Amino acid sequence: MSDAFLVLKSGSCAWGRCLFCGYGRIQGELLSLEGFREKLDGFFKSLDSRVDHVKVYGSGSFLDEKQVSGDLRAYFIERCLAEGVKKVTVESRPEFISREKIREFRGLELEVATGLEIACDEILDRISKGFHLSDFEKAVSILHEEQALVRTYLLVNLPFVKNLKESLEESVNYALKYSDSIVLINLLPHGHTPLFRMWLSGVWRFLSREEFHNLAGRYESHPKIELDVETFRFVPLFPRELRENLSGVGERYLTHPHFEVWQDYILRWYRPPSGKKTLLFLPCSYTKPYSRSRTHRGIINVLIDYKGIHEVMLSNAGVVPREFEDYYPFNSYDWDESKETGEIKERYIGVTKERIIRYLQTHGGHYRRVLCFLGYESESFKALREACNGLGMECKNLLSREREGKRVLQSGEALEDLRYGVENEAGKV
Ligand code: SF4
């Protein structure tokens, strides 16, 4: 059976309060019948071949009259039947599931997906789900009596759960009694949610892919269960209201939680680009994003022909792969070196060294060689040297030993060193 996905944005979720959900908080424009027709006709036109199963995804409930009116639903059903579609999947909260609406889908196999999340009323209250197991069960009775299928989403790793393994087992056993299929979803933090703030404050953390598989992997071969390790492209996106002024020198600007959660992400979720096998550590810059600074423009100009080099900056904000330089907080902090004391320099070296060690322990296997282009007197170079010595790793500095002075990396000689170095080192890859 061939499947097609229709992403439908119309209005907003009537509830919008689930602790972990960013989609439900989006205030979308309501689709008119005309707009919906255009969208649906465009959707069917874009398909290369006839499709058997249409899955509709959007935030909220397809069966909520206020999001998708009866007219829109009727048009959807009519078009699906006309296109020879056999099965449709729509999402809905239990309170919008009624016999009348389900009967409208006659002629199509209907599957209704519901985010139950967990089979525990107490946790459902704590995550502000807004319904209980009894509501879910009532909706399931209607669906099954009307010959519709029930698809249930469960979230693995919700906060407030004491024993994740036991809770997952209980939820799966419960859901299997009521559902025709189940999806186990790895809970990842959306920016505009209380869950994201829980991650920032350290009271909850996401599961890495490996941790998720360790917990949920045993259900992988179950005929009714699917695993979804990444429901959206996960990057920490800080909403505007959470952003802080991170310009300053001192402990706060070295181990700020906003830097720490990014380091957590870079270690436990991020994967370096597959084609880039030479790691090149670089300094940060006052101008943000780094690539707009004079130093980085010079470096980028030299590296332009070397596609296999992965540029990673060392700064008080952490170890920062080039891909993230324009994300908050990496695009909006400042550390004024003229305000550094001997003590904070030592602390910088200590913290940065630990971050580099963790980065290399996690991602070192990805790279074939590790290089740097850093001033020999810089704290970043000292931290890198200590980290590599500790790990017994080689890390060649492409800057010639004799180069020194302020803004040394901007000079023509230094950039020639870089050019020569990458040709001889990275060029070998
Ligand atoms: S999880 Fe579903 S019900 Fe909850 S806010 Fe998000 S869209 Fe709405």
Q: Which atom of ligand 1 is nearest to the CA of 14?
A: 8
pLDDT for residue 25 = 84
Residue 421 in contact with ligand 1 by CB distance below 6 A: no
106-124 average pLDDT score:
98
Residue 301 pLDDT > 60: yes
pLDDT for residue 427 = 59
The Cα–Cα gap between 55 and 85 comes to 11
The phi-psi region of residue 60 (left if phi > 0; otherwise alpha if psi is between -120 and 50; otherwise beta) is: left
pLDDT for residue 426 = 65
Contacts of 373 (CB under 8 A, 6+ apart): 280, 281, 282, 283, 299, 397, 398, 399, 409, 414, 417, 418, 421
Q: Locate tokens 């680009």: which residue? A: 273
Q: Are 33 and 76 in contact (CB under 8 A)?
A: no
Q: Which atom of ligand 1 is nearest to the CA of 59?
A: 7
The Cα–Cα gap between 212 and 382 comes to 37
Domains of the chain: which residue ranges?
Answer: 3-228, 242-428
Q: What is the mean pLDDT of the chain?
A: 96
Would you place residue 167 in the very low, low, confident or very high pLDDT band (cuts 50, 70, 90)? very high
Residue 11 in contact with ligand 1 by CB distance below 6 A: no
Residue 168 in contact with ligand 1 by CB distance below 6 A: no
Residue 429 pLDDT > 60: no
Residue 389 pLDDT > 80: yes
Fold of 3-228: TIM Barrel (3.20.20)
Residue 1 pLDDT > 90: no
Interval between CA 147 and ligand 1 midpoint (Å): 25
Residue 246 pLDDT > 80: yes
Would you place residue 386 in the very low, low, confident or very high pLDDT band (cuts 50, 70, 90)? very high
Interval between CA 22 and ligand 1 midpoint (Å): 8
Interval between CA 60 and ligand 1 midpoint (Å): 5
Using a pLDDT cut of 70, give the percent of the chain over it.
99
pLDDT for residue 26 = 82
Sheet with 278-283: list strands edge to edge. Answer: 318-321, 309-315, 278-283, 369-372, 396-397
pLDDT for residue 340 = 94
Residue 323 pLDDT > 80: yes
Would you place residue 191 in the very low, low, confident or very high pLDDT band (cuts 50, 70, 90)? very high
Taking CA atoms only, the protein residue closest to ligand 1 atom 6 is 24
Neighbour-count burial for 28-49, b at 16+ CB within 10 Å, e otherwise: beebeeeebbebbeebbeeeee
Residue 231 pLDDT > 80: yes
Using a pLDDT cut of 90, give the percent of the chain over it.
93
- DSSP H stretches of helix in 127-208: 133-145, 164-178, 194-200
Give per-residue pLDDT as tens, 286-300.
Answer: 999 999 999 999 999
CATH architecture of 242-428: 3-Layer(aba) Sandwich (3.40)
Q: Are 139 and 146 in contact (CB under 8 A)?
A: no
Interval between CA 13 and ligand 1 midpoint (Å): 6
Residue 59 in contact with ligand 1 by CB distance below 6 A: yes
Cα dist from 344 to 73, 252, 314, whole Å: 63, 11, 16
The Cα–Cα gap between 384 and 375 comes to 11
Give per-residue pLDDT as tens, 10-67.
Answer: 999 999 999 999 988 888 889 999 999 999 999 999 998 889 999 999 889 999 999 9
Give per-residue pLDDT as tens, 83-96.
Answer: 999 999 999 999 99
pLDDT for residue 24 = 81
Neighbour-count burial for 97-119, b at 16+ CB within 10 Å, e otherwise: beeebbebbeebebbbbbbbbbb
The Cα–Cα gap between 352 and 267 comes to 14
The greatest distance separating any two alpha carbons of the chain, rounded to the nearest whole angstrom, comes to 82
398-423 average pLDDT score:
93
Helix axes 294-303, 412-424, angle to 10 degrees: 30
- DSSP strands (E only) in 45-86: 53-57
Q: Are 383 and 360 in contact (CB under 8 A)?
A: no
